[in-house]
Amino acid sequence: MTTSRIARGVAALVGLLAGRAWSEAPPPVDVRPLPAERRVDVTVGGKPFTAYVWPERLAKPVLYPIRTARGTFVTRGFPLDPRPGERVDHPHHVGLWFNYGDVNGVDFWNNAETLPKEQQAKMGRIVHKAVASTKSGAGVGELVVDADWIMPDGSVALHERTRFVFRADADTRSIERDTELTAGDKPVAFPDNKEGVLGLRVARGLEQPADKPEVFTDASGKPTAVPVLDNTGVTGSYTSSEGLTGDKVWGTRGRWCALAGKVEGEDVVLLVLDHPNNPGYPTYWHARGYGLFAANPLGQAALSNGKETLNFTLQPKARTTFRHRLLVLPGPLSKERAEREAKAFAP
């Protein structure tokens, strides 16, 4: 082989490897604060992934909406952006959020604008205070925010600092949420309660098929009673790390839980990972067939039918951290992949 032919071959190989490296380079994750709009947008390669939002009409900040790598919504639109065919129950279920149903006797979970004003006044609110920092980069972005848990009398029960880490590659998206709660000058009790703590409300296609009459959103966004459910395109099913599936997952412990199904023809898996350092690990799953996908390590008495209790309490100025990761994966569900992700999260 001549020297020139060898040189051309080497050049071609270098070009091929360079092209492959370019095609496999992680996409840019951009985290952009828009304070005037009360939001922080997270994009991947210039396309929307999710947003941290704190609209005045919500009693807590949330990540909303959340999309797959292909751009398919995996979160329900109601109540912020109702879509035809959606349920209109539980207006406090918005996107991905973190709160609890009993904090020193005050409900932070169920507060919603649809409640009478006098009832809202008895409930807690989580108020966004500041965007502490943001980072953007290749394949990963970060957002750190501060919030206060406000009691009905205006006092601050808890100071919250949450760090979100957003990761992306060609077909996967993930959100890691590390939430540090610090008590104020008084003890903060979290009596065992069914409503908590990390919640996700999913799109209609990821619900489990059901046969009870319900209320759904019509094409104009108005609630409509539906006496007989149409389960067309409703394909969701839960699977836990302990091998349980479907409705059997509710009220059981697990290191991880997955919800798999089709949304607009796309196979999707939502995988939520618990962390061993969290209080109450492994968490109980408050996983409902109608689309509420929640990890609740603090509701042990409620979720175990009284077989276990925790009644977690923070002393004055004490702090605790809850760490979870949500992965939005292409389906179908692979239990081997779920275990690999769990070990990577908590080696």
Q: Write out the H or E segment, with its range, that includes residue 10.
A: helix 3-23
Q: What pLDDT, on the 0 to 100 scale, is given for residue 166?
A: 99
What distance in Å separates the CA atoms of residue 333 and residue 246, rounded to the nearest whole number? 14
- The 3-state DSSP class for residue 249 equals helix
Task: Tell me if 222 sits within 8 A of 86, measured CB to CB.
Answer: no
Cα–Cα distance between 221 and 230 in angstroms, integer?
A: 18
pLDDT digits (tens, 9 = 90+) for 175-194: 999 999 999 999 999 999 99
How many whole angstroms separate alpha carbon 335 and alpha carbon 94? 28
pLDDT category at 224 given cuts 50, 70, 90 is: confident
Among the listed residues 87, 78, 79, 90, the one whose alpha carbon sits nearest the alpha carbon of residue 226: 87
Q: Is residue 30's pLDDT more than 70?
A: yes
Closest CA to 157 of 104, 208, 95, 99: 104
Average pLDDT over residues 150-163: 98
pLDDT per position as a tens digit, 279-308: 999 999 999 999 999 999 999 999 999 999
pLDDT at 245 over 70: yes
Which CATH architecture fits 27-345? Distorted Sandwich (2.70)
